[in-house]
Structure formats: structure tokens, C-alpha cells
Structure 1
């Protein structure tokens, strides 16, 4: 009987060690997933300094998240988030749709740069929309009546679906410039709070690409509004509109 108890104890210890090791690596896995999965969506570089997630509470912190600028823009990055808090519903992790209770982003740095082809933020948001649309089209095609192709590595894998109950962005610091169009034209302002709710609620949820597209589109819209009014109005009136003619710069900013 003693040998049986010892075997059970050893097995329990081995399982505990295995679980501990698995959870100890989850932060690295999430960081790796963000840095490898997001660039194809936004078509520019994405880096993360650190990820810290509690497997018990489901609350995590993402630190030093940065989105680089597309080609043709001069500033080193488009968005920098010093710290974002994420709260997961841990019971949903093993289901078909992962539920995120909230994402709270405080004091992000947003660089809006206007160029002849539009703004950097609009470029990135459009890239995310295009990627999400392609994913949706591919998924619809796979649901057709045609015979399945032989299984290989090229076959599309089951996509992750998400639900975000609340996304809150507060104190976003916007730096706007049009150096390529109007040398020296730049201004700074704090954007109003951005709050999105019930993203992907009901049904199958939304893909990470669709979530990224929605967030970036909203940021781009709010940044464009701020750049054409209030304390950033001088960016448009300080020679920019005269040089480009009429409301051309406003159009570049998405107005």
C-alpha cells in the first residue's frame, strides 16, 4: 500500500511541476503571439516589452507596447502604450470564444503624421481592415460545399474568437505633424476618452484582426477630429491649407 501512495505523491508532484512550468511560460507565449501575430495585421513592426498575467485572477499587464510607422513616414512609431491592463474571464479560455472583461489603456502616446497619401494612423487602420476582410472571406469560402482539400500545413487553422466587454482609453497624448507637407507644422493635445463596449458579444465573437481594426479606426477618427479643431486648429491654419489649397489637409486627416 505504501508504494501506491508514493507513486500517487510522485505523480501529483510531477503534475504540479508541469502546471507551474506551463503557467510560468504563458507570459512569454503571449508576448511572442503579439509580436508575431500583429505585424501581418497592421503591416508594420510591433514590439512588447513585457507581459505579466495571473492565471488565478485572469488579470494581466502589457508593458511597452509599440506599433511602428508604415513606410513613407518619418517618426519612429505611430503608437506607444506604456501600460495596459487586461482582465480575462478565465473560464472562457478553453472555449471557442475568449471573453475579455476589460482592456484599460492609460496615457498612450499617439503620433499622427500627415503625408500625401493620408495619415499614418489611417494607413495602419486600413491595413487591419483589409486583413480582417481577407480572413472573413477565407472563412466564408471554407464554409462552402466544395470538397475539403487534403490536410497539410497550408490548410487554414481554426481562428481565435474574442469578446471584449469594455475597452477604455484615457489620457491619450496626441502629437500631430505634417512635416512632409508643411515644414514645422506640429501640435500636441490630449484626446477625449475613448470607450468601446460589447465588441464581439453575441454570436461567434470577433477575430483579433477585427478587434485591432476597430480600435485603430476609432483612434484614427478621434485623432483626425482633434487635428481639425481646438488647440490643433493652427496646424491646419498655419499655412497648411493655403499651401495645399482649400481643405486638402483636412481631407488628408480623414475629415
Structure 2
């Protein structure tokens, strides 16, 4: 019985550590995913300076998103976003209709 309790405590500690680590590094993981996904999907360099995710607030803030132009175009950048924010109503994530109360692009 004592062994079972020790195993359960160890599992709880591991789960808490994984969740805490994920929440701590979520911005870094999201930044890398956006850069990699954008580059792979578009075939040109995609760079993001910073992203800040707020799960409880249902919000994402982006700073300096740059998408390069393919070779042969006069401009180096196809798209540059200085700052952006998108907010989602967390309660609508499980509904058929997604409620987006705030989108800001600058």
C-alpha cells in the first residue's frame, strides 16, 4: 500500500512539473512553431521577435512578424506586422461559433 502511495505521489509531481514547464515555455514554443510553420508553408523566411500568450485571458500579442518575399521581387519583405493582438472569448472555444472580441494590427 505504501508503495502505491509513493508511485501516485511521484506521478502527481511529474504531471505538475510537465504542466508548469509547458506554461513557462509556451511563448518560446509558439514562437518557434510560427516561424517554422510559416517558413515551411510559404517557402520563405518567417521571423517573429516575440509572442505573449495568455490562456486565461484568451489573448495573443505578437511583436514584429516579418515574412520575406521570394527571390526576384524588389522588396525584401512581403509582409511586416509591427504589433498585433487577437483575443478570443474563452467560453466560445467549445461552441460552433468562435467569438473574437478584439483584433489589432499595427
Do the two structures share a fold, i.e. TM-score over 0.5? yes
Q: Which residue of 2 aligns with 1:39?
A: 39
Q: Which residue of 1 aligns with 2:48?
A: 48
User: Aligned partners of 1:31 and 1:100: how far apart in 2?
Assistant: 24
Change (3 A) 1:88 1:9: farther
Q: Which has the larger radius of gyration?
A: 1
Q: Which residue of 2 aligns with 1:81?
A: 81
- Structure 2 alignment gaps of length 5 or more: none
User: Aligned partners of 2:21 and 2:90: how far apart in 1?
Assistant: 18
User: Aligned partners of 1:36 and 1:100: how far apart in 2?
Assistant: 27
Q: Which residue of 2 aligns with 1:161?
A: none
Change (3 A) 1:16 1:36: same
Give the alignment's TM-score, normalised by structure 2.
0.70
Q: Which residue of 1 aligns with 2:30?
A: 30
RMSD: 3.0
User: Aligned partners of 2:17 and 2:3: how far apart in 1?
Assistant: 21
| Number of corresponding residues | 102
User: Aligned partners of 1:54 and 1:86: how far apart in 2?
Assistant: 11
- Structure 1 alignment gaps of length 5 or more: 107-255
Deviations 1:65-84 (A, max 9, x none): 00112221233212211211
